[in-house]
Structure 1
Amino acid sequence: MTTDTLNKVQDTEALVNDTRKAKLLSTEVEHIDITSFDARPIIDAMGKMSFTSRDTARAADLYNQMLSDPECSVILVVAGSTSAGGCMDLYTELVKNNMVDAIVATGATIVDMDFFEALGHKHYQALEIPDDDTLRSLYIDRIYDTYIDEVALQDCDHTIGQIADSLEPRPYSSREFIKEMGKWLADGNAKKTNSLVQTAYEHDVPIFCPAFVDSSAGFGLVKHQVDAMKRGGHYMVLDAIADFRELTDIKIKAGTTGLLMIGGGVPKNFTQDTVVCAEILGHDDVEVHKYAIQITVADVRDGACSSSTLQEAASWGKVSTALEQMVFAEATSVLPLIASDAYHRGAWKNRDKRRFAKLFA
């Protein structure tokens, strides 16, 4: 790879040394395989406990109810850095096995983490965390105890720009653009073939990123736009209104829905708001989200969207309080148990595929 990546060139004089960087980026994050272990016994045992253990077991039960309900479409909602932290293949497995029907996520989850690894790059365990200024001098980005090579991330930025350059200059929803990313990978460009972006494309599971440019994608898309303007030409743009309309179309089509939410933020609120939007469009019979699970460590005292409880969302007419569960835990510690439990109980084997991406073909 060259330094022709958004014109962000390393200050080679500031590098401590290549050996130091190689040492810090020597232990890859290995993504958990939910098919390789059976979490049913531990979930059953946790259901007889208290505190977060019981909450986790009830969340697992609710997820199994979603998958067993023939009328229920499941929307996976992801914020935070769980993909970088080892849950990347878990999300792909849910798509492969018809355990989710649509996805709403942050741009970082889809681009900086998943698409990034599809290009052959890796995330690394930070077994040692030196001064962050030292990391900056080495062009290493840090997510808590996980490292990313900034040079590799710039390659991701550059690739996003190239995909944008190849498209007809018109408005696109984030779903449309991510579909093009999946197609580009499926056309033989993937270095890792089981990415979430490519797998969702192949299974007609739409992915929405309502704040798409708040990620590495933003750099590539800005570069695409600026270069096009310099040429006096037109450029593609992202249409956030189309995002909201399309996801609301899915809610209207789906009827009964269940939410599996990791974290909170924009993806959470965006997905819940589809009920209100459908009502505004005249669909007075639209159901609130029947099932809802949220795994979060956000503190409810700050009044933010990420920490708002599912009971609070009921006051806005978004979710039902009958079948909801908050799990206050760091997601990588409980999500693999919930997902493995559902995989091995096998309710997904009898589900009809929704293929919601075909609504927009």
Structure 2
Amino acid sequence: MTDTLTKTAAANAPINDTRKAELLSKQVKHIDITSFDARPIVDAMADMSFTSRDLGRATKIYNDMLADKDCTVCLVIAGSTSAGGCMDLYAELVRNNMVDVIVATGATIVDMDFFEGLGHKHYQALEIPDDDTLRSLYIDRIYDTYIDEEQLQDCDFTINKIAESLEPKPYSSRAFIREMGKYLVEHGKKDNSLVKLAYEHDVPIFCPAFVDSSAGFGLVKHQVDAAKEGRPYMVLDAIADFRELTE
């Protein structure tokens, strides 16, 4: 009982801004693939073994895909790679018309790219305290990477704002993410946002598990508030995702 009361008190205690600033002191820097030529080392790895040779083979396949004008290039992204420093890499592929369609996790699109598009950052976890300490400081952890929970909530509120601005009807994840890209064009703070560039280059982004991210909170709030007020609300249409991906 005493332990429970202690944890409750800690959760309700004021945030230690100094300690939080210490933990969120080193930003993750996304790799800039335009600043160097990686082709020689990738070509050399093709003559090695294990994963190195796999990378060389994958590079050849990708080059063949780009050379084939009838080939649709689909980029599939796992969320942790974006937080880990690959976000600008994916954006450059879209900027240079090297991708036709994207399928990604909710974390990739919302918690990472859209999040940074709003001007927020990811941070290197130079030390990892216990989870109770991180919770008390409103810091979220992705492996050895930190996110400021207060900034993530701003991202959720923005998703809610976008949902509130739309005509209340079903939307595929592609259609809703396009609205996110449009929002970043008008209000964003990062030119190299994948969501923003995909909107500008008309590259569709699909996220079949869209609410499996912080966006879920913003969309749930939209639905709950609308239901309480007796007004219709927008919904995500998983069947439309399947149909549009097939097309």
- Partner of 1:141, secondary structure, is strand
1:122-271 map, 5 Å: 122-187=121-186, 189-249=187-247
Residue 56 of structure 2 is aligned to residue 57 of structure 1? yes
d(CA) in 1 for partners of 2:139, 2:239: 35
d(CA) in 2 for partners of 1:98, 1:198: 14
- Partner of 1:204, secondary structure, is coil
d(CA) in 1 for partners of 2:178, 2:208: 14
Equivalent residue, structure 1, for 2:41:
42
Equivalent residue, structure 2, for 1:71:
70
Which amino acid letter does the alignment assign opposite residue 246 of structure 2?
Answer: T
Instruction: Confirm or deny: 8 A CA contact 2:79 2:106 kept in the other structure.
Output: no
Pairwise CA distance, 1:247: 0.9
Which amino acid letter does the alignment assign opposite residue 160 of structure 2?
Answer: G
Q: TM-score, length-normalised on structure 2?
A: 0.94
Which amino acid letter does the alignment assign opposite residue 191 of structure 1?
Answer: K
Equivalent residue, structure 2, for 1:13:
13
Pairwise CA distance, 1:133: 1.3
d(CA) in 2 for partners of 1:68, 1:85: 30
- Partner of 1:94, secondary structure, is helix
d(CA) in 1 for partners of 2:81, 2:30: 10
Q: Which moved more, 1:158-167 or 1:32-41?
A: 32-41
Number of aligned positions between the proteins = 238
Equivalent residue, structure 2, for 1:116:
115
d(CA) in 1 for partners of 2:183, 2:53: 43
Pairwise CA distance, 1:112: 0.4
Equivalent residue, structure 2, for 1:280:
none
d(CA) in 2 for partners of 1:167, 1:70: 36
d(CA) in 2 for partners of 1:90, 1:217: 23
Between Structure 1 and Structure 2, the one with more helix by share is 2
Instruction: Confirm or deny: 8 A CA contact 2:94 2:201 kept in the other structure.
Output: yes
d(CA) in 1 for partners of 2:55, 2:94: 21
Quick one: higher RCO (CA 8 Å, sep 6+), 1 or 2? 1
Pairwise CA distance, 1:14: 5.5
In the TM superposition, what whole-angstrom CA distance separates every residue of 1:172-201 from its partner, at most 9, and x where no partner exists?
0000000111111112x0011220001000
Q: Give ranges in structure 2 of 5+ residues lacking alignment.
A: 1-9
d(CA) in 1 for partners of 2:23, 2:57: 40
Pairwise CA distance, 1:65: 0.9
d(CA) in 1 for partners of 2:192, 2:117: 8
Equivalent residue, structure 1, for 2:92:
93
Pairwise CA distance, 1:216: 0.9
Pairwise CA distance, 1:11: 4.9
Pairwise CA distance, 1:130: 1.1
Pairwise CA distance, 1:12: 5.0
Pairwise CA distance, 1:131: 1.2
Pairwise CA distance, 1:224: 0.3
- Partner of 1:81, secondary structure, is helix
d(CA) in 1 for partners of 2:79, 2:233: 30
TM superposition outliers: structure 1 runs of 4+ over 6 Å: none
In the TM superposition, what whole-angstrom CA distance separates every residue of 1:282-311 from its partner, at most 9, and x where no partner exists?
xxxxxxxxxxxxxxxxxxxxxxxxxxxxxx
Which amino acid letter does the alignment assign opposite residue 18 of structure 1?
Answer: D
Compute the RMSD of aligned alpha carbons. Answer: 1.2
d(CA) in 2 for partners of 1:78, 1:237: 24
d(CA) in 2 for partners of 1:125, 1:33: 17
Which amino acid letter does the alignment assign opposite residue 236 of structure 2?
Answer: L
Which amino acid letter does the alignment assign opposite residue 177 of structure 2?
Answer: I
d(CA) in 1 for partners of 2:75, 2:156: 25
Pairwise CA distance, 1:69: 1.3
Q: Give ranges in structure 1 of 5+ residues lacking alignment.
A: 1-9, 250-361
Instruction: Confirm or deny: 8 A CA contact 2:78 2:105 kept in the other structure.
Output: yes
Q: TM-score, length-normalised on structure 1?
A: 0.65
Pairwise CA distance, 1:80: 3.2
